[in-house]
Amino acid sequence: MGKIEWAMWANEQALAAGLIYATGGIVGVAGQFRGWQFACFGIAAGVFVCLLEYPRSKRGKGTSVERTGQYCFTVCVKAFGPLTRNYYVRAFLHAALCVPGGFMLATVLGCVCLGIGSLIYLSAAIHGEHWEPILPRREPPKRVGDSIKEPPQNPPPRPPPEHRRKKADKLEAAAYDNPMSVTVNE
Amino acid sequence: MLYTLYNYFISLQNFSNTLHSVFQLVWLGINVFLFVYFYLAFLIERYYYTRVILGHALSWARAPAACLNFNCMLILLPVCRNLLSFLRGSIQYCSRTAARQLDRNLTFHKLVAYMIAFHTAIHIIAHLFNFERFMDSQLMINSSYLPYVLSQMGNNDNRSYLNPIRTNETNPTIVMFTTIAGLTGVVITLALILIITSSMEVIRRSYFEVFWFTHHLFILFFIGLVLHGVGRIVRGQTLESVKVHNPDECHSQFETWGKNGTNCPEPVFAGNPPMTWKWVVGPMILYVCERLVRFYRSQQKVVITKVVMHPSKTLELQMKKKGFKMEVGQYVFIQCPSISQLEWHPFTLTSAPEEDHLSVHIRIVGDWTQALYTACGGDKTVVMDAWTLPKVAVDGPFGTASEDVFRYEVVMLVGAGIGVTPFASVLKSVWYKHVQENKNVFTKKIYFYWLCPETQAFEWFADLLQSLERQMMEKDMSDFLSYNIYLTRWKDAEAAHFRVQYEAEDDPITGLKQKTLYGKPNWDNEFSAIATQHPGSKVGVFLCGPMALATALGKQCFSHTESGTEFIFNKENF
């Protein structure tokens, strides 16, 4: 627990809002309600928001937990560069997208939820946060000697027996007693 | 037949799991029953004319509403932890298994919350259709159109109307914001959504404060919920009206209702009284009592008697509270008013019931713990006077199933990382029981496994194990406790150090006589070895750690339970 990263909550809220927006839109269109054009817009905006919000940002401090299968979304969102990195842009985008939802009952809930998400994003932006993609860490290729095909991953706690014997001339400097006696000529 | 059933139950390895599943099935069954019952309840005569306008959307809205009443009643109960503790204490005399169900309170709370969200969705979608249809019937101005005619009823006195939308110069959105039902509906749905998004695991585990404060929107939720039906917007024919005006016969003669010479007077409509308060008032009162109890307990004097700073960013607080009784493995909530009036944080007790004080080991990971560290003089090097230490309040203890440890002759305790904390209490208690109180302790052998990714956290626990080790050697009981510490991750530089120190008598990391082992334990071997050592006994396996380990151990218990040795798995959830 540390300083709150508002963007994390804004992300959850906006994702939920996108789903609600889209669902309201689907109901409006399926039921052929008055103002179904707004419902159509609601579906489009809701889906767009979901796609934008699905990839989680890398956290400033601590481990980031990815959503399942978010890598392809991360790549797409990353491609827009500063537009998606900056949370001010996101806050205003969400605010703009939510407005048409207020004109029809089915999408009103999505509108308000997205509006709240936009406000939390604004708070995140004011606190200086920004979106960072979570990319898989590429391990630097290990330098291996030619004679070693597969170096062991973990060093063994106990060295092999031949290295346990200390050289006789270094006996005085030995940190421990030898398990077996050592003569100068081995 | 019965014998095989019995064997099946035993082999489930954790009877309480079965009981819990039965409980959940019953709850689900009640939900389904309420849904169907109330769906059908609105298909009766009284609502004939309502259905003329709304169709089945009326039932689709009322059925989840009933389920919502039921679930909103239930959701407050699992979080009344003092009440649950009290119930647990009483039930324990009858059945420990039943008592353990009460520990899964949080799981149930979340389940009910998801059900509330699900039913809210159905309810809202159905009402979207309802609003639209009500609006339609006001707009289709045609006196040969029954819905329109129905909508004009009650225009004179504005009380016996059917259609809550009273004019055609409005739209559903405006109606929603100008009716009590609509406005409260929006408020409580928003509160619910905010509560859910801030309760997502990511947020909850990282920013507890956001989760906790937003969760208090539930107060708004319940107020709105109770007021939601006050406007009596669900309307049907009054019973007197149905007696004189039978919808089945009269609906086709709507153009001549009330006129001279007909059998059908004008129907009279009224709204249903609000029902929700009857469901939720009980739990709301219980919850208020719960908060009062917590407040009362928090006012009880707690004195910090000792503060120990462990180098591994762990703060140990020893406290005394009058009349405090605990059992092994329980946890308490601690509040420090000088840091925050509203925050209570849970910590497992690391002291044994036999000790005269209560102690917790607090890892310094966030704002609150950091502030506590500073308030207790963590950054000062001088000794602090007792009166300068901050005032704290303690609520609890709240129970988990660790006390079952003493019911087994042979016990396997597995703790992963910080999950080892409750076992500190267990080990100390077993020690006290064996040595100082000279009781005939049923537990004869403890196998303790501690899996740790890093060496730093060993500190205070290693100290405990060291002192236990010493005392056991003095009493010639070194066989009683067999512990295995596994270091599951290490850096190359550390490995070099281990390699050099391997021959030292004491372990280079913990300073204990039993060496630290590296990597993860081979559970198959461990279980087999224990089974061989203790044929014919019941071995209790206790875990405090991640789910993956729980699954692995559960499987091992199952596969190693042969004729004779029986492994019984108990998982703690903190």
Q: What is the pLDDT of residue A176?
A: 56
Chain B residue numbers touching A179 (CB-CB < 8 A)? 503
Choose which CATH entry (3.40.50.2300, 3.40.50.80, 3.40.50.620, 3.40.50.720) describes domain B402-572. Answer: 3.40.50.80
The residue that leads in pLDDT, B517 or A170, is B517
Q: How far is CA B533 from CA A49, B155, B484, in A?
A: 60, 87, 16
Number of helices (H), then strands (E), in chain B: 22, 14
Contact B52, B121 (CB under 8 A): no
**Of how many residues is chain B composed?**
574
In chain B, where the domains are located: 1-179+231-292, 300-398, 402-572
What pTM did the predictor assign?
A: 0.76
Region A45-68 average pLDDT = 88
Q: What is the pLDDT of residue B573?
A: 46
Q: Which of B480, B457, B458 is nearest to B469 (CA)?
A: B480
The answer to whether A34 contacts B189, with C-beta atoms less than 8 Å apart, is no
Torsion angle (degrees, nearest 10) of CA B376, B378, B383, B387 = -10
Answer yes or no: is A174 within a domain.
Answer: no
The domain containing residue A11 runs over which residues?
6-127
d(C-alpha A108, C-alpha A99), whole Å: 9
Number of domains comprising chain A:
1
The answer to whether B499 contacts A159, with C-beta atoms less than 8 Å apart, is yes
Torsion angle (degrees, nearest 10) of CA A28, A30, A31, A34 = 50
pLDDT level of residue A97 (50, 70, 90 thresholds): very high
Q: What is the pLDDT of residue A186?
A: 42
Q: How far is CA B468 from CA B361, B428, B474, in A?
A: 18, 8, 10
Tokens standing for A70? 């978010």
Answer yes or no: is A150 within a domain.
Answer: no
Chain B residue numbers touching A9 (CB-CB < 8 A)? 197-198, 203, 207, 210
Answer yes or no: is A18 within a domain.
Answer: yes
Chain B residue numbers touching A109 (CB-CB < 8 A)? 124, 186, 189-190
**CATH class belonging to B300-398:** mainly beta
The answer to whether B504 contacts A33, with C-beta atoms less than 8 Å apart, is no
Smallest Cβ distance to A4: which of B121, B210, B504? B210
Residues of A with a Cβ under 8 Å from any B Cβ are 1-5, 8-9, 12-13, 16-17, 20, 23-24, 27-28, 31, 33-34, 56, 59, 62, 65, 102-106, 108-109, 112-113, 116, 154-159, 175-177, 179
Answer yes or no: is A164 within a domain.
Answer: no
The answer to whether B173 contacts A12, with C-beta atoms less than 8 Å apart, is no
Smallest Cβ distance to A1: which of B194, B196, B206? B206
Contact B260, B53 (CB under 8 A): no
The residue among A32, A33, A61, A113 with the most chain B CBs within 10 A of its CB, best to mutate, is A33
Q: What is the pLDDT of residue B71?
A: 96
User: Is the interface score ipTM higher than 0.85?
Assistant: no
Asked whether this chain's domains B300-398 and B402-572 adopt the same fold, the reply is no
The residue among B140, B171, B173 with the most chain A CBs within 10 A of its CB, best to mutate, is B173
> Phi-psi bin for B507: left (phi > 0), alpha (psi -120 to 50), beta?
beta
Give the chain A residue whose CA is nearest to the CA of B129: A31
d(C-alpha B86, C-alpha B91), whole Å: 9
DSSP, collapsed to helix, strand or coil, labels residue B267 as: coil
Q: What is the pLDDT of residue B12?
A: 43
d(C-alpha B393, C-alpha B374), whole Å: 17
Chain A residue numbers touching B502 (CB-CB < 8 A)? 157-159
Answer yes or no: is A151 within a domain.
Answer: no
The three-state (H, E, C) secondary structure of B349-362, written as one string: ECCCCCCCCEEEEE
Task: List chain B pLDDT tens, one digit each, 574 residues.
Answer: 555 555 454 444 455 567 778 888 999 999 999 999 999 999 998 999 999 999 999 999 999 999 999 999 999 998 888 887 777 666 555 555 444 554 567 788 999 999 999 999 999 999 999 999 999 998 888 888 888 888 888 887 777 888 888 888 888 889 889 999 999 999 999 999 999 998 988 888 777 778 888 999 999 999 999 999 998 888 888 888 888 888 888 888 888 888 877 778 888 888 889 999 999 999 999 999 999 988 888 788 888 888 888 877 788 899 999 888 888 878 888 888 888 877 788 888 888 888 889 999 888 877 788 888 888 887 777 777 777 888 888 887 876 656 677 788 888 888 887 778 888 888 888 778 777 666 567 778 888 888 877 766 667 777 787 787 787 778 777 777 888 888 776 666 666 666 666 555 566 556 565 667 777 888 888 888 888 888 888 888 888 877 778 888 888 888 888 767 888 877 654 3
How far off is chain A from B517, nearest CA to CA, in Å?
9
Q: What is the pLDDT of residue A178?
A: 53
The answer to whether B206 contacts A20, with C-beta atoms less than 8 Å apart, is no
